[in-house]
């Protein structure tokens, strides 16, 4: 349920509980008629000042967002090694780089595709960036097929993973299994082996692990980035990407 729509209901329950608690605590001092008058006064005040409800809703939203952000930052510290150093996650750039970028992505995500030129430019220009790919297929069945094939490619030949990744990101239209395997062959991968390996339990566990990490970090869509101590949801400009790398390096 969307938080925005659930909050008014929660607020009304809270107001009702407060009202009932007040009436109960005053039961020895007020008779039933007086308690009804108190309820009526509260109800009339809220009807005459509805902005109070809106302000309370906004405060609840802000408080919940702050709580979620704080929890995500705590999880970033707790799961840092799994996020950045899981050997099952593909890596590009400098494996010993001083800055690590982690991207959660989906091959069917248009915004992820838009990020590809900026990512490639960064890896060409900055030879001290370590780039970690977290396959996060959430948009369609084709997304999962592509993610499984890419992870099978990583297991088969790590140096060829980024070539396949680039081809899949650049692909337009649908991504059927046949088309994905054909693309894999163009970058020198064994398509038959990929077809065999992509449905292995190990790859299924990797995808489930990635989904769990995304949830703990508050990443609900693609792309989502972890750069240093920052969790960055959504696509960003090349300038912002470079700035975040500089900040992480400075820290």
pLDDT in tens, the chain (251 residues): 333 344 454 555 555 555 555 545 545 567 788 888 888 888 887 788 888 778 878 888 778 777 778 898 999 999 999 999 999 999 999 999 999 999 999 999 999 999 999 999 999 999 999 999 999 999 999 999 999 999 999 999 999 999 999 999 999 988 999 999 999 999 999 999 999 999 999 999 999 999 999 999 999 999 999 999 999 999 999 999 999 999 999 98
CA-CA-CA-CA dihedral for 184, 189, 192, 196, to nearest 10? -90
d(CA 162, CA 158): 8
Task: Specify the pLDDT at position 3.
Answer: 38
Mode of pairing for the β-strands spanning 230-233 and 224-227: antiparallel
**Cα dist from 241 to 41, 65, 78, 203, whole Å:** 55, 24, 24, 29
Task: Specify the pLDDT at position 111.
Answer: 97
Q: Find out whether 153 and 192 touch, Cβ atoms under 8 Å.
A: no
Check if CATH label 3.40.30.10 holds for domain 82-250. Answer: yes
Start-end ranges of CATH 3.40.30.10 in the chain?
A: 82-250
């Amino acid at each position: 349920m969307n938080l925005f729509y659930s909050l008014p209901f929660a607020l009304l329950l809270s107001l009702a509980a407060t009202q009932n608690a007040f009436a109960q605590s005053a039961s020895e001092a007020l008779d039933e008629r007086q308690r009804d008058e108190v309820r009526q006064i509260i109800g009339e005040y809220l009807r005459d000042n509805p902005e109070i409800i809106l302000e309370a809703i906004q405060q609840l939203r802000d408080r919940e967002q702050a709580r979620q952000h704080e929890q995500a930052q705590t999880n970033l510290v707790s799961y840092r090694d799994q996020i950045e150093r899981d050997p099952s996650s593909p890596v590009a750039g400098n494996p010993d780089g001083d800055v690590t970028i982690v991207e959660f992505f989906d091959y069917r995500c248009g915004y992820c595709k838009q990020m590809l030129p900026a990512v490639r430019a960064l890896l060409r220009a900055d030879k001290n960036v370590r780039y970690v790919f977290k396959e996060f297929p959430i948009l369609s069945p084709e997304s999962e097929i592509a993610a499984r094939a890419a992870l099978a490619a990583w297991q088969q030949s790590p140096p060829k993973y980024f070539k396949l990744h680039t081809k899949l990101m650049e692909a337009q239209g649908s991504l059927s299994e046949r088309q994905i395997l054909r693309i894999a062959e163009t970058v020198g991968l064994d398509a038959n082996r990929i077809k065999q390996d992509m449905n292995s339990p190990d790859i299924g566990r990797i995808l489930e692990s990635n989904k769990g990490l995304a949830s703990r970090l508050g990443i609900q869509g693609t792309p989502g980035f972890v750069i240093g101590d920052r969790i960055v949801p959504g696509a960003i400009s090349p300038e912002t990407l470079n700035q975040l790398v500089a900040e992480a390096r400075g820290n």
